[in-house]
Amino acid sequence: MDILDWDALDLSALLEARELSAVELMRATLERITAVNEDVNAIVSLRDPDRLLDEARAIDQTERRGWLHGMPLAVKDLANVEGLPTSQGSPLHARTIAPQDSVFVERMRRAGALFIGKTNTPEFGLGSHTFNSVHGATRNPYDLTRSAGGSSGGAAAALATRMVPVADGSDMMGSLRNPAAWNNVYGFRPTWGRVPSDPDGDLFLHQLSTNGPMGRSPADIAALLEVMGGWDIRQPHGLLPQMFVDRIRTNVNGLRIGWLADWGGAYPTESGVLDTCEAALDVFEQLGCQVEHIEAPFPAARLWEAWTTLRSWAIAGNLSPLFANRASRAQLKEEALWEIEQGMALSAMAVHRASVARSDWFRKALDLFAEVDVLMLPSAQVWPFPVEQRHPVGIAGQEMDTYHRWMEIVIPVSLIGLPCMSIPAGFGQQGLPMGMQLVGPPRGDLRVLQVAQAWHEATKWPAKHPPRPAQSLRLH
């Protein structure tokens, strides 16, 4: 078994027992990157290999700092790693060097991580397709002609190809979930506030996006979440640290699952998506779970109106200084311009109405979780599409009226900050992966992790169905 195929916690145990050195792991990692990354383009801003090997030698001689001690990691290119560029996929920031680590990155560094570079992301994380004018497009390792998803597409593809053992990502509109689904790995959007963002800009109003962990097993994700998570005193919202790994294994017999499918037909899906997911539900039933089909619990149109209002409002608040400057405005991609213009045109009462709709959906969700333990629905409405395409313009004969309408199935979770794991669900007829959203109640992160781990032990999708060997990952 190739050392890079081991789960991250297993690698950590080998490092702790001195059965594997950080130098050996770093060398294997760099060899894999050399073999794979030219075609997949998941790792960007890769640091000098000799310097990385020197750091690995040094950490082999130091006292163990945490479970990430000696592990080579790459950080999504929306977060800061001291001394590395934070391009955010934008030519405006291509040469911006981070003066310090982001909050969760600093925590990973304290736990012993060795940062080798960044993972690719679309410009400002907008859109679930990882391409930008700075680093180019990230390709799906299961089919190099297809998208790896986004905005954590670089992280997901790097995980799938074993260039990193675990990864961070971020999720506003499915950016941890869609790429995980398309790369046959796990992506966890934690309860909003569990992983702190950087204490910059507005700290009170924009409760939509969150950082979170990705991995090839839920146990690895739980361990990384313990490092990334926990309250930061510089921010007004947040949750205290919580331990997950020691409690992740549990009996799911009798668990009640509410299957939401396509939200009563409101979310069109490509052929095979629902079939693949519903076949996966049979495994839960074999584990003793009770699967109940649930009708659409809330008007999809009202969710969409609230989401697009609050999302554009947040993005405009963040990017409007770039829009105000004529020179920088000319370098913004069309999706960013659209979001800013939408957000700047909003009234305060429009934002209030969107927040009321969000509140109504939160109350309804609480009623649902009184009847079931977890909710489930597909992680994506389409299979990975051609990498040259900006975004899908239609699904099953239904035209998409925005650049992100094809991702609508993720917003019931994002709108109210529920914990959600994208779990691998299987493969379609074209050999492309799909995933399912496993959704927990408010602050029910542990429950989601436990159910996902039971699923993982029953299926082992990432280990059983990795991408083709590195030497065959070639464009012809």
DSSP string for residues in 45-81:
SPPPHHHHHHHHHHHHTS---STTTT-EEEEETTS--
Contacts of 321 (CB under 8 A, 6+ apart): none
Q: Tokens in use for 237?
A: 């919202």
pLDDT for the residue numbered 471:
46
Among candidates 129, 135, 121, 137, which has minimal Cα distance to 76?
A: 121
List of E strands, 217-317: 256-259, 290-293
- CA-to-CA separations, 400 to 178, 238, 244, 246, 437, in angstroms, rounded: 17, 36, 39, 44, 22
User: Rounded to the nearest 10 degrees, how much is the dihedral formed by the CA atoms of 264, 266, 267, 271?
Assistant: 60
Cα–chain-centroid distance for residue 391?
A: 18
76 is catalytic: yes
Number of H helices, E strands in the chain: 15, 17
Distance, CA of 65 to CA of 85 (rounded, Å)? 26
Give the phi and the psi of residue 145 in degrees, each rounded to 5: -90, 0
- CA-to-CA separations, 435 to 154, 205, 220, 274, 420, in angstroms, rounded: 17, 31, 18, 10, 12
Q: Which amino acid is at 375?
A: L
Distance, CA of 451 to CA of 242 (rounded, Å)? 17
- Contact (Cβ atoms closer than 8 angstroms) between residue 371 and residue 255: no
Q: Which amino acid is at 149?
A: G
Among candidates 49, 47, 53, which has minimal Cα distance to 84?
A: 47
* 363 membership: H or E segment, kind and range: helix 348-369
Place of tokens 């429950």: 447
Place of tokens 């027992």: 17
- Contact (Cβ atoms closer than 8 angstroms) between residue 197 and residue 158: no
End-to-end Cα spacing for the chain: 28
- CA-to-CA separations, 73 to 118, 162, 466, in angstroms, rounded: 8, 11, 19
- Contact (Cβ atoms closer than 8 angstroms) between residue 41 and residue 136: yes
Distance, CA of 39 to CA of 475 (rounded, Å)? 7
pLDDT for the residue numbered 23:
98
Which regions in the chain score pLDDT beneath 50? 470-471, 475-476
Catalytic position from the list 90, 128, 151, 422: 151
For the residues of 295-346, what is the DSSP string, one character each?
---S-HHHHHHHHHHHHHHHHHHHHHHHHHSHHHHTTS-HHHHHHHHHHHT-
Catalytic position from the list 45, 76, 87, 118: 76
- Contact (Cβ atoms closer than 8 angstroms) between residue 113 and residue 74: no
pLDDT for the residue numbered 304:
98
184 phi-psi bin (left φ>0, alpha ψ -120 to 50, beta other): left
Place of tokens 């205290």: 240
Which domains does the chain carry? Answer: 3-472 (3.90.1300.10)
- Contact (Cβ atoms closer than 8 angstroms) between residue 224 and residue 187: no
Give the dihedral sign, CA 221/122/164/406: positive
- Give the burial class of 242: count Cβ atoms within 10 A of its Cβ; 0-12 exposed, 13-18 middle, 19 or more buried: middle
333 is catalytic: no
pLDDT for the residue numbered 166:
99
Distance, CA of 448 to CA of 188 (rounded, Å)? 9
Q: Which amino acid is at 224?
A: L
Catalytic position from the list 12, 102, 147, 175: 175
* pLDDT tens digit sequence for 147-176: 999 999 999 999 999 999 999 999 999 999
